[in-house]
Amino acid sequence: MLAGVSAAAALAVSPPGWAVQPVRPKRHLTILLGLREGSALDKGARHFFGFLAPHMPGTDITLTNLPGDAGRTMLAALGDAAPNGTTVGWVITPTLPARMIDRNEPSLGQRIQLLGQILREPIAFVSPSNDPATTIQDIIQRASDDADAVPLGTPPAGSAPHLAALRLQVLAQTQLNIVTFPSAAAALQAVLDGNVSAAALGLSDAIDPLRDGSLSAIGIAARRRFGLLPDTPVLDEGGIPLSAFIRCGVAVPVGTPAEVSAPLIEALKAATSDDAFREQAEASGYYATWADGADWLKQMQTEQAALAALWRTNPWLSSSGG
């Protein structure tokens, strides 16, 4: 009886014209990251999704790290996920085409659809400030005289910086002493300690020690100078036409309906164009720049062909113990 009275009273005091609105259940979105939690790339992804959340009201976003097998674990999990818009992946190239090649598993790319690129991060070649190399040509010349005397550190074999170092070796036509480390953090520490003559790293890993003077920049593997480091030359200025980027963005399982992907793409675009996000990205060593999935796929396919050629002459899984 009391319940009936309470309901009647509530209706009696409701303003005219108001209707009882049903409570919509929250939409759940799981984002897979093939990254070690706390790494520079992981932090970059998490910063972006912090800006994405306001553009997806009513959505509960969960970030899940699946860093195994050099990114393959996450890519396989994304391909296996239901194509219903509840699971997406933070995909990185050249990681994706490299795993397709070195695991001989083209289905890793065939089972996912790229929605859009969000970040580009150039590869930086750096050396210890207390014994700096002057240019990339200095490293190449010293290596041609005695490669063992000029170790070049990188993150694990098959990582983007390691692939850039192999490409540098091909362009220089000189055998380099490329030494791989278990992680980008370990490669960074090695060059800070002076245990290697130089290192190839994603700029986000090197940006803080470059700022505080612990490292010196030999060059950026890009076509134009980076805004935050305007005095750092690009490798092309030293006669090495090497452009190497880590590209990050979002993908879904193949078969995800267009009407499901469309609002997500609009939210991704809006977050990428946010001025505050762009400023934060550049301060962290990235360019925030949107590229549609079709354009990103075309770029990836070009990169995949180049990596396949590199694999035939410099198979990176046997180039070191990394």
Q: Same domain for 227 and 78?
A: no
Q: Same domain for 252 and 113?
A: yes
Q: 291: pLDDT confidence band, cut at 50, 70 and 90?
A: very high
Q: What pLDDT score does 23 carry?
A: 52
Domain membership of residue 5 (yes or no) is no
Q: Same domain for 227 and 255?
A: no
Q: Same domain for 143 and 252?
A: no
Q: Picking from 7-16, 23-32, 290-299, which range would have the lowest pLDDT averaged per residue?
A: 7-16
Domain membership of residue 6 (yes or no) is no
Q: What pLDDT score does 256 carry?
A: 98
Q: 147: pLDDT confidence band, cut at 50, 70 and 90?
A: confident
Most confident of 135-139, 142-146, 275-279: 275-279
Q: What separation in angstroms does the CA of 69 have from each of 66, 94, 296, 312?
A: 9, 15, 24, 21
Domain membership of residue 45 (yes or no) is yes
Question: Where is the domain boundary, 194, 221, 244?
Answer: 244
Please compute the mean of the pLDDT values over residues 246-270 and round it to a whole number: 98
Q: What is the CATH number of the domain that holds 99?
A: 3.40.190.150
Q: Same domain for 64 and 135?
A: no
Q: What is the CATH number of the domain that holds 230?
A: 3.40.190.10
Q: Which domain holds residue 79?
A: 27-120+245-312
Shortest CA distance to 236 belongs to which of 221, 217, 257, 214? 221
Are β-strands 87-93 and 151-154 bridged in parallel, bridged antiparallel, or unpaired?
unpaired
Domain membership of residue 58 (yes or no) is yes
Q: Same domain for 71 and 205?
A: no
Q: 22: pLDDT confidence band, cut at 50, 70 and 90?
A: low
Q: 25: pLDDT confidence band, cut at 50, 70 and 90?
A: low
Q: Same domain for 160 and 253?
A: no
For the chain, first and last CA: distance in Å? 74
Q: What pLDDT score does 183 carry?
A: 96
- The number of domains in the chain is 2
* pLDDT over 90 at 6, yes or no: no
Q: Which DSSP string do the residues of 57-118 spell out, in sequence order?
A: TTEEEEEEE--TGGGHHHHHHHHHS-SSSSEEEEEEETHHHHHHHHTT-THHHHTEEEEEEE
Q: Same domain for 137 and 230?
A: yes
Report the distance separating Cα 299 and Cα 250, nearest Å. Answer: 15
Domain membership of residue 8 (yes or no) is no
Domain membership of residue 222 (yes or no) is yes
* pLDDT over 60 at 17, yes or no: no
Please compute the mean of the pLDDT values over residues 225-232 and round it to a whole number: 81
Q: Same domain for 145 and 255?
A: no
Question: Where is the domain boundary, 244, 262, 292?
Answer: 244
Q: What pLDDT score does 24 carry?
A: 58
Q: 262: pLDDT confidence band, cut at 50, 70 and 90?
A: very high
pTM of this prediction exceeds 0.75: yes
What is the rounded average pLDDT for all residues in the chain? 90
Q: Same domain for 181 and 239?
A: yes
Q: 231: pLDDT confidence band, cut at 50, 70 and 90?
A: confident
Shortest CA distance to 122 belongs to which of 258, 315, 251, 289? 289
Domain membership of residue 19 (yes or no) is no
* pLDDT over 70 at 119, yes or no: yes
Question: Where is the domain boundary, 244, 270, 295?
Answer: 244
Residue with tokens 């995909």: 91
Q: What pLDDT score does 213 carry?
A: 94
Q: Same domain for 39 and 153?
A: no
Q: Same domain for 114 and 252?
A: yes
Q: What pLDDT score does 2 carry?
A: 35
Domain membership of residue 16 (yes or no) is no
